[in-house]
Chain A
């Protein structure tokens, strides 16, 4: 039981990371294109 829960938790984290990566990536893209993040700020 406990082991199944752990696999489920791992799977949920993977799905959440999927969405988080999509949102973070697109927000960063939007901020750069809108010139809110200037080039000199990115090392």
Chain B
């Protein structure tokens, strides 16, 4: 008993240490983001330093910290403190305050249409290709949910729905991050090359990059309006996660495992609904009412600074969480499925974003 308690206390201390590492690297990110342009002003580096935004510093410092901690043998024990999901969701709730509720209402129609079509097409394609290549149906469910809905959190929900194994979840989560990291930088470059408008760029990024934290990083690199639309689109996808998880539970119970026990109830839907979506909407309503009733605009600037701090912590955590090891064990087939699904997602996503958001004005 005492041994269990000591072990629990020790893992809690390591988790607190993990959070401290994230905060430290986050503070360093903020310092570099604010001061490097000042230090390099007037030198040949000045132009580059000015255009490097905080997601770049945060992710690079996270990856650097990851390498150092792995080298020292501490990384895995500290990992419980790398809470990407908590940091990003808190950041997104705060982001809700910078979006006028009317914009959310206006974007809801195309965002729901895009999310519904993208999830259906990309989930269907991944499921079909996984089946063709003979991938285990639980891993297929995880891969399809992760690539079509919202990355790691969708994989966690799907893993619960289909009773997947721990290794399958770890594997899918690693794949999500490995594919998300380059897309944070490549999609903004593609947006520039294709000359996309901010709403189309945001909708493409939001519908495309799997994990919500990476969507925010790429959106922030393109600009504030793209970040807002990307968040609305991604949040809509997140909201549909509950529906897919419940459908998967029913499908596996009735068709795959044939237990005949399918729990499809309103309660199951509510349990799997990502609650931060409500926080995001509430923050938008509160801030809109606050400003419409003559509230101080500078308060929203402070909320935006707080939001940036949480996003920085999330981006640092992405870098710290990055792991290649689980991928080596599963072979090339699931990677091939995930890569193909990502390409389909990119193309269909670009088509839908251009179609649904080309005339959008906030």
List residues of A (1-43) whose CB comes within 8 Å of B's CBs. 3-4, 6-8, 10-11, 14-15, 17-26, 28-30, 32-33, 35, 37-39, 42-43
> Is the Cβ of A25 less than 8 Å from the Cβ of B157?
no
State whether the Cβ of B286 lies closer than 8 Å to any Cβ in chain A: yes
- A interface SS class: helix
Which of B92, B156, B303 sits near A11, CB closer than 8 Å?
Answer: B156
In the complex, the number of residue pairs spanning A and B with C-beta atoms less than 8 Å apart equals: 112
Tell me, rounded to whole Å, the shortest Cβ–Cβ distance linking B333 to chain A: 22
Please name all residues of chain B whose beta carbon is closer than 8 Å to the beta carbon of A29 when the two chains form the complex: 93-94, 97, 283, 286-287, 303
Please name all residues of chain A whose beta carbon is closer than 8 Å to the beta carbon of B96 when the two chains form the complex: 25
Tell me, rounded to whole Å, the shortest Cβ–Cβ distance linking B69 to chain A: 21
With contacts A19-B275, A25-B89, A33-B295 taken as known, whether A39 is within 8 angstroms of B166 at the C-beta atoms is no
Please name all residues of chain A whose beta carbon is closer than 8 Å to the beta carbon of B88 when the two chains form the complex: 21
Number of chain B residues close to chain A: CB under 8 A = 46
With contacts A7-B160, A32-B299, A42-B306 taken as known, whether A20 is within 8 angstroms of B86 at the C-beta atoms is yes
Please name all residues of chain B whose beta carbon is closer than 8 Å to the beta carbon of A3 when the two chains form the complex: 165-167
State whether the Cβ of B309 lies closer than 8 Å to any Cβ in chain A: yes
B167, closest chain A residue (CB): A3
Please name all residues of chain B whose beta carbon is closer than 8 Å to the beta carbon of A21 when the two chains form the complex: 85-86, 88-90, 92-93, 276, 279
Tell me, rounded to whole Å, the shortest Cβ–Cβ distance linking B313 to chain A: 12
**Given contacts A10-B159, A21-B86, could you give 10 more A-B pairs where the C-beta distance is less than 8 Å?**
A8-B160, A17-B83, A20-B86, A22-B276, A25-B89, A26-B282, A29-B283, A32-B302, A33-B286, A43-B30
Residues of B with Cβ closer than 8 Å to A? 27, 30, 83, 85-86, 88-94, 96-97, 153, 156-157, 159-160, 163-167, 169, 271, 274-276, 278-279, 282-283, 286-287, 290, 295-296, 298-299, 301-303, 305-306, 309
> Could you list 19 A-B pairs, sorted by A, with CB under 8 Å?
A3-B165, A3-B167, A7-B163, A7-B166, A7-B169, A11-B157, A14-B85, A14-B153, A18-B85, A18-B89, A21-B279, A25-B279, A26-B282, A26-B283, A29-B287, A32-B306, A33-B303, A39-B302, A39-B305
